[in-house]
Amino acid sequence: MYFAKKAVEEEVDQMMDTTVYACQSESCNGWMREDFVTVDYNCPMCGTEMSQEVRELPKIKYDHQFYNK
């Protein structure tokens, strides 16, 4: 008798290339995912203009709280 059934799904964070906007100020590490970027593309921490770049980040699991505004 074999009990080889494995129904457990591993919840591993998937890494994926993500478009982000990074603060151009050298004294600031602020950056945002494209999905959450501010309307004027300025850094939420210091107000400096941000530039688009691609970073490898864990995939976001979307849930309802993002729409609870």
Among 30, 32, 42, 57, which residue interacts with Zn ion (rule: CB under 5 A)? Answer: 30
Map the footprint of Zn ion across residues 49-68, applying CB under 5 A: none
Minimum CB distance to Zn ion smaller for 18 or for 30? 30
The number of beta carbons lying within 10 Å of the beta carbon of residue 12 is: 8
Is 20 a binding residue for Zn ion by CB under 5 A? The answer is no
Close Cβ partners of 50 (under 8 Å, ≥ 6 residues apart): 21, 22, 23, 24, 30, 31, 32, 37, 41, 42, 43
Q: Which residues bind Zn ion (CB under 5 A)?
A: 23, 25, 28, 30, 43, 45-46, 48
